[in-house]
Amino acid sequence: MRRHIRAILAAAAILAIPMAAQANDLPILPQAADQPRPAGTRAKLRVLDWAGMRAAVSYTFDDAQPSQSEHLDELLATGAPMTEYIVSSAMQTAPDFVSSWRKAGKAGWELGNHTGHHCPFGQACGGLARFDAASDIDAAERVITGTLKAPGVWTLAYPFGDTRWREATEPRVFLARGVQPGSVAPHGGDRYNLPVFPVAQGQVARDFDQGVDSARAQRHWLIFMFHSLRPTKADWFAGVETSDVVANVRRTQGLRDVWIGTLADVGAYWLGQQIVEAAVAKAANPDTPQTWRWAVPAHFPPGRMLRVRVDGGTLSQGGQDLPWDAHGFYTVALDAGELSWRP
């Protein structure tokens, strides 16, 4: 019975590939759609880093600050999917909290968890009678999925970058963002303490451009961490001009070989790649017919896809052969939990 259910789910995942790939905003590759299907007889499966792009960039904003609401339309006008880390208690004092972040969510932004009250770890704040990390994370999730109507909460940003929140975080999301400087390589890395470009007060587009260029040269994933956006009367922390953020987004979009995605979208691809590659690496003989199997972790967002290549043969999931995309890849559904190959 369980095998039968898995087969049904796998088949459904394959049928949903075109819609899911579009919904998850996998990037459009810059090369022409003229690559022939590999005609060899070997597997040698490899996953395309960053869905076939040279690098990836995620724009994240902390706290659901008033200044971010003030400039939301300017950010939305870029069309770039971004990630807003919600402190849910902000709803009590910001009259446009619900309308702003519902609007962002409908536009394709990820609404991530930044806890209910953003307390220093171990200290009650914001009217809390006592500190409880798990309860405060859960409070924010209820607002994000209930009041703001987000489809789920996939990632979290630690308040003040304090990784003591990690114990309560790991059972609730599949990725967490820290505050230490750095970028993310395609393989390896700590999924519960992702590094960032920590935007400092007064930095300008040129600084952000240099960060993107460095990540692109390394073929890495760069995660921007923004706070206050100027001009504003609520310049709380690390304020930068909105025009400089927009200018960097526009320039990055113009590079064409850099994937701009939410933390959940890029992170799901990044982690999914490692999971599938680990399953393939266990194969005793990579050139005989076989099926690779894997399991995604708890709280992994559904409907995620990978782009893969083989030297030849046929790939299938749920009993259906996968079509070759002339941009140079096959699309694999992570939800299926298996992938078969034959010469």
Contacts of 239 (CB under 8 A, 6+ apart): 67, 201, 202, 227, 228, 229, 230, 232
The pTM of the full predicted model, rounded to 2 decimals, is 0.93
Which residue has 């905003």 as its token pair? Answer: 25
Cα separation, 180 vs 202, whole angstroms: 19
Residues in the chain: 343
DSSP result, 52-72: GSSEEEEEEEETT-HHHHHTH
Rounded to whole angstroms, the Cα distance separating 310 from 238 reads 46
Q: What are phi and psi of 107, to 5 degrees?
A: -85, 0
Question: What is the CATH code for 55-256?
Answer: 3.20.20.370
Q: Please list the pLDDT of the chain residue by residue as tens digits (343 residues).
A: 433 433 444 444 444 443 333 335 799 998 889 999 999 888 899 999 999 999 999 999 999 999 999 999 999 999 999 999 999 999 988 889 999 999 999 999 999 999 999 999 999 999 999 999 999 999 999 999 999 999 999 999 999 999 999 999 999 999 999 999 999 999 999 999 999 999 999 999 999 999 999 999 999 999 999 999 999 999 999 999 999 999 999 999 999 999 999 999 999 999 999 999 999 998 777 678 999 999 999 999 999 999 999 999 999 999 999 999 999 999 999 999 999 999 9
Paired sense of beta strands 338-342 and 290-293, if any: antiparallel
Where are the chain's structural domains?
Answer: 10-51+268-342, 55-256
Q: Which residues contact 123 (CB under 8 A, 6 or more apart)?
A: 131
